[in-house]
Amino acid sequence: MTPAIDAHVRLDTHPTHPSAVTAVLTGTQARAASMALEAAGWSVAATGVLVLARIDHEEPYWAATAAQHLTAEGITVEITPRLQEAIDEEWTWPNYPMPWCTRSEIREVSNQAQKIHDAIRNGHLLIHAHARDGHTTVAVGTYLHPGGKSVYLHGEDHLRQIADTFDSPAKALVAFEKVHAAEMRPGPAPLTDTERAAIEARSVFDVTPAKSEPSRPEPETVPVYLADAGDHDALLDSFLDTHGEFEKWRTWSDETTHAIHESQTLRIERIHDTHARETAWTVAAYETPVSDRMWHLTATGATPAPVLQGLLSHLAFLQELLSRPASGDGRSTRVGTPVDEGVVAAATQPLSDAGWKHAVGGRWINWTSPAGGAGVQFDAFAAQHPNPNLATWTIWAGPGPDHPTWVITASSHTPSSLLAGLSESLAHETGTRRAQPASRERSTNYAPSPPATPVVVSVPGAGRSL
């Protein structure tokens, strides 16, 4: 007989997410239950609270499976009546594209898609590029564990599958580019509505009684990479007010603002109301108004305002140089050149001077701030790849490069002077951050909430794609 463990797990439906499940843990050995649930894909949301939020909406089924395993280990499990009702509910996917599959086979397909999603979310599967293929998304990536295969992924959410495997990232990228060159974009695809909802369901919350909000703390001075994101829209408006050579216009859906230089060779796209970790800015440069893109740069929604402000200032300066006749090696400053050791050294010299830690590992060269929390990564493979749109430079801040708070990426021909300006900012500048209170607690209503109605937003093309 399995000895009893002093741990009690109460499983219930999520207060806001229509299919997610919460687990409230109590007892002197609650840690044992927490470790078992985390191993099964549950996420810690607060002290003694875990959440199971999946992209296949099968949380009640897997919660019941977890309950069986915990009970077998001697842990007391309580399932609330409303969760039990969800567990017993019979439902099917409408218009499922594989109608020949049984319910258990559909669940297995969905579970494989969930494993791919978790590998990407946890940084175990690195996505090199993605593209649209008809009505779905395709991508190419590499598993980072030793001997990890490169894979071609097809589909989204619960329908994503590994369609092919390759022995190396190079072979995978070449094969992917042959089919999807026109639509190919660097890095992972934007989050789907389902993925975004799962992230929100895993957000930190507490179940203790509400307390009065503490007074708002004063801002503190921090290294620029730790500064607050600030108001990106106000930042763009200020930039356009002082640079009349850029024309501003906004899409009919009011979701995106474009700033286009009068020469038509530099274009800035600002996507409003994006998630903090999604791409909110894209900069694209062209040699002539009708030529192919020379280089591009992206920044996510949580990028600190001082970093973006410096970036926009450097862009304006570079565009001023573009209007001058090119001579000697001035052209390399204006439009960028293929990456070599000199370009890498010039782009990162401020980091080296400031004592950032330098390390080389495989195809990557990394510079990390002395205290941690920020870094610059150079991808030597992407720098030599014939596709100039791959992300060669990655500037990040946060817990680590696999789980960044914000990210800036740049393609191989991005001017070294622009990258050096960013490096200078990271190495020496400061910003302000409003300190978080030591404890912020709020009540959580566990009454059932009706499922949220999904909103499908169509973003039309705004002239020429960046």
Q: What is the dihedral of CA 386, 390, 395, 398, to 10 degrees?
A: -140
pLDDT on residue 207: 47
Burial of 361 (0-12, 13-18, 19+ CB in 10 A): exposed
User: 344-357 b/e with 16+ CB inside 10 Å = b?
Assistant: bebbbebbeeeebe
Q: Are 120 and 188 in contact (CB under 8 A)?
A: yes
Of the chain, the percentage scoring pLDDT greater than 70 comes to: 84
Q: Which domains are assigned to the chain?
A: 8-88 (3.30.70), 103-201 (no CATH), 219-434 (no CATH)
Can you tell me the distance from the alpha carbon of 120 to that of 148, in angstroms, rounded to the nearest whole number?
A: 13
- What are residue 38's phi and psi, to 5 degrees? -60, -40
pLDDT digits (tens, 9 = 90+) for 287-341: 888 888 889 999 999 999 999 998 998 888 777 665 555 444 334 334 455 678 8
pLDDT on residue 16: 86
Of the chain, the percentage scoring pLDDT greater than 90 comes to: 44
Q: What average pLDDT does range 339-360 have in this prediction?
A: 90
pLDDT on residue 37: 94
Can you tell me the distance from the alpha carbon of 54 to that of 197, in angstroms, rounded to the nearest whole number?
A: 9
pLDDT on residue 378: 94
Q: Are 407 and 391 in contact (CB under 8 A)?
A: no
pLDDT on residue 273: 84
Residue 131: pLDDT band by 50, 70, 90 thresholds? very high
Q: What average pLDDT does range 161-166 have in this prediction?
A: 94
Q: According to the per-residue pLDDT averaged within each range, which of 60-74, 173-187, 236-250, 254-268 is highest?
A: 60-74
Can you tell me the distance from the alpha carbon of 16 to that of 38, in angstroms, rounded to the nearest whole number?
A: 21
**CB atoms < 10 A from the CB of 129, how many?**
25
pLDDT on residue 197: 87
pLDDT on residue 206: 47
Can you tell me the distance from the alpha carbon of 382 to that of 360, in angstroms, rounded to the nearest whole number?
A: 15
Can you tell me the distance from the alpha carbon of 382 to that of 443, in angstroms, rounded to the nearest whole number?
A: 48
Q: Average model confidence (pLDDT) for the chain?
A: 83
Query: Per-residue pLDDT for 210 more than 50?
Result: no
Q: Are 383 and 339 in contact (CB under 8 A)?
A: yes
Residue 250: pLDDT band by 50, 70, 90 thresholds? confident
pLDDT on residue 216: 57
What single letter denotes the amino acid at residue 92?
T
pLDDT on residue 204: 56
pLDDT on residue 241: 87
User: 20-34 b/e with 16+ CB inside 10 Å = b?
Assistant: bbbbbbebeebebbb
Among 125, 123, 156, smallest CA distance to 142 is for 125
pLDDT on residue 321: 60
- What are residue 57's phi and psi, to 5 degrees? 60, 25
Q: Which residue has the higher pLDDT, 299 or 446?
A: 299
Residue 5: pLDDT band by 50, 70, 90 thresholds? confident
Can you tell me the distance from the alpha carbon of 424 to that of 354, in angstroms, rounded to the nearest whole number?
A: 9
pLDDT on residue 397: 94
Residue 211: pLDDT band by 50, 70, 90 thresholds? very low
